[in-house]
Amino acid sequence: MALATLAGGCFWCLEAVFQQLKGVSKVSSGYAGGKRPNPTYEQVCTGATGHAEVVQIEFDPAVISYRDLLDVFFTIHDPTTLNQQGADTGTQYRSAIFFQSPEQQRDANEAVADAQKTWDDPIVTEIVPLAQFYPAEEYHKDYYLRNPNQGYCRVVIAPKVAKARQRFFEKLKA
């Protein structure tokens, strides 16, 4: 198994999509990229910790590649908006790829270059080494699965899930 750590706005959105992919065994919401150890959601929301909301994806590279995960990532969020995804604003909602090996760094750079061909504005996704991943509080786990009719889930998350399901149908779990 391998790990990928990605930030692309609200972690609930990313979790909801990546949980559906073949080869993904676990998706954990959390925080990365900041200076404060063991941050809480309330602290991260202030923007003062430097952390981004992230998902850490445990996956089987024999079933789905890191590049495939990055292709999904660039499909379900806007990598051209600095510190913002839709109405969610602040550094905690930035677009970032936290690499864990030279190979992941190379793949991330290639994925950004490929994704740039589909975007008119420059991609602002950070590509940085993962120093530490801090799991989010338990109530964030499986948020979309537990709350599909909640307003944010219907208006923000469901369209991203639908887009991913349409574009990556062959990569979905049965």
- What domains are there in the chain, each with its CATH number? 2-171 (3.30.1060.10)
pLDDT of residue 173: 80
Other beta carbons within 10 Å of 99: 20
Q: To the nearest whole percent, how much of the chain has pLDDT over 70?
A: 99
Q: What is the Cα–Cα distance from 158 to 170, expressed in whole angstroms?
A: 19
Other beta carbons within 10 Å of 59: 23
pLDDT of residue 167: 87
pLDDT of residue 133: 98
Q: What is the Cα–Cα distance from 137 to 153, expressed in whole angstroms?
A: 18
Q: Is the pLDDT of residue 174 over 90?
A: no
CA 161 from centroid of its chain's CA atoms: 13
Which residues does the annotation mark as catalytic? 10
Q: Per DSSP, which regions of 48-170 are E strands?
A: 52-59, 84-85, 88-89, 95-99, 126-129, 134-135
Q: What is the mean pLDDT of the chain?
A: 95
Element (H, E) at 66: helix 66-76
Tell me the Ramachandran region of residue 114: left when phi exceeds 0, alpha when psi lies from -120 to 50, beta otherwise: alpha
Mean pLDDT of 57-69: 97
Give whole-number Cα distances, 99 to 7, 35, 146, in Å. 11, 17, 30
Q: Which residue type does 90 have?
A: G
Mean pLDDT of 94-116: 97
